[in-house]
């Protein structure tokens, strides 16, 4: 088990950015303290060839480039203060209405124009016999992106000897606010050689939140008999005729008690690679990357439509406006805690 750091570049204001490499000699995870972004996860295929299985870049400059940001897919970043969408940006807390930035159609998305994905975190490294750990900390000031309360956030990445990458989220506030943190890593188990439409997916979720224009109606509906039914393993493209733009939907995991539960997997037959997902969160937004931009990086075309699948464990979209949904309110004195594990398996 080992964790190392190296320079990753500078932001426009001159701030130094670092890249951290966590490894257990089977899996290697690279994370930068800019946006708490996972830039790479290297894992072996069934021929023991290790390759990067997530969408990301080798240079900080690419994350800051106009080409990338103009069609921004949030590759690998921590999303906050509120992941997913808030209808029309209307956020009411304790009788007071806050108007949030509109940055996705008519809605507020992923914390606003400058969410946690574009913030610089402070970093601490820890190395143990069976675990290496990167603790990233950010203070989101009262009024940042118009959210109330000074919110202190800790995101802890842990890689262990069982090839599990844990992501733990801790937060505390001095004023009642909302928090819905997630990670926006896109997986591609072919290491980018193909798109993800032939990946297989299994989910324990028997329900989804019914959506209209990406905003929940408030109804929870069954997946049985629909293209959203992955309760038996299915290829991502098994209903491509009915889902030509793929998926960008919130699956209900039936986990409102906050226990760490197994929620499913994605796998890819040719490589033998598989990623299992465990989480304390009640939902998972599955996004198959229809709008991912095609970029030219070092002279090569990369990414583009369906280039990765994001398994965003989180609370439901627009929870702030749906009283029947699990709450995303955080009050002074309370401690926010969520955990997700991605386990890397080669079959």
Question: What would the pLDDT profile of 14-73 be if each residue is shown by its tens digit?
Answer: 999 999 999 999 999 999 999 999 999 999 999 999 999 999 999 999 999 999 999 999
Residues carrying an active site annotation: 184, 312
Cβ-proximal residues to 129 (8 Å cutoff; 6+ apart), any chain:
1
Question: Quick one: pLDDT at residue 242?
Answer: 96
- In this structure, is the dihedral angle defined by the CA atoms of residues 286, 308, 167 and 24, taken in order, positive or negative? positive
Rounded-to-integer distance, Cα 21 and Cα 275, Å: 20
> What is the per-residue pLDDT across 223-234, written as a single tens digit (0 to 9) for each?
999 999 999 999
pTM exceeds 0.95 for this model: yes
Q: Say if CB 29 and CB 22 are below 8 A apart.
A: yes
Contact 140, 116 (CB under 8 A): yes
Residue-wise pLDDT for 259-285, tens only, equals 999 999 999 999 999 999 999 999 999
Mean pLDDT for 163-177 is 98
pLDDT digits (tens, 9 = 90+) for 121-132: 999 999 998 999
User: How far apart are alpha carbons 340 and 154 in whole angstroms?
Assistant: 14
pLDDT for 257 beyond 90: no
Dihedral class, residue 271 (left if φ above 0, else alpha if ψ from -120 to 50, else beta): alpha
* Contacts of 166 by beta carbon, 8 Å cutoff, 6+ apart: 156, 157, 158, 159, 160, 339, 340, 341
Map out the domains of the chain with their CATH numbers.
Answer: 2-346 (2.70.98.10)
């Amino acid at each position: 088990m080992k964790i190392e750091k190296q320079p990753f570049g500078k932001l426009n204001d001159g701030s130094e950015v670092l890249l951290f490499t966590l490894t257990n000699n089977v899996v290697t995870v690279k994370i930068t303290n800019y946006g708490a972004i996972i830039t790479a996860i290297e894992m072996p295929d069934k021929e023991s060839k290790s390759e990067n299985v997530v969408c990301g870049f080798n240079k900080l400059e690419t994350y800051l480039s106009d080409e990338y940001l103009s069609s921004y897919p949030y590759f690998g970043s921590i999303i906050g203060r509120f992941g997913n969408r808030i209808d029309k940006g209307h956020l009411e807390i304790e009788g007071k209405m806050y108007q949030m930035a509109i940055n996705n159609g008519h809605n507020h998305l992923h914390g606003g124009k400058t969410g946690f994905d574009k913030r610089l975190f402070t970093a601490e490294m820890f190395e143990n016999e069976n675990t290496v750990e990167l603790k990233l900390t950010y203070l989101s000031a009262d009024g940042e992106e118009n959210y109330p309360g000074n919110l202190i956030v800790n995101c802890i990445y842990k890689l262990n000897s069982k090839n599990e990458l844990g992501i733990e989220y801790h937060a505390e506030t001095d004023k009642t606010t909302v928090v819905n943190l997630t990670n926006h890593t896109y997986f591609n188990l072919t290491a980018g050689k193909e798109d993800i439409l032939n990946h297989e997916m299994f989910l324990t979720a028997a329900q989804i939140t019914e959506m209209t224009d990406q905003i929940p109606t408030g109804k929870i509906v069954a997946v049985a008999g629909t293209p959203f039914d992955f309760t038996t393993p299915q290829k991502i493209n098994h209903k491509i005729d009915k889902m030509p733009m793929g998926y960008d939907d919130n699956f209900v995991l039936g986990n409102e008690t906050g226990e760490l539960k197994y929620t499913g997997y994605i796998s890819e037959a040719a490589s033998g690679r598989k990623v299992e997902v465990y989480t304390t969160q009640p939902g998972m937004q599955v996004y198959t990357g229809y709008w991912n931009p095609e970029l030219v990086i070092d002279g090569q075309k990369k990414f583009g439509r369906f280039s990765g699948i994001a398994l965003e464990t989180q609370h439901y979209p627009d929870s702030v406006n749906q009283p029947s949904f699990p709450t995303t309110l955080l009050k002074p004195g309370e401690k926010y805690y969520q955990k997700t594990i991605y386990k890397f398996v080669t079959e």
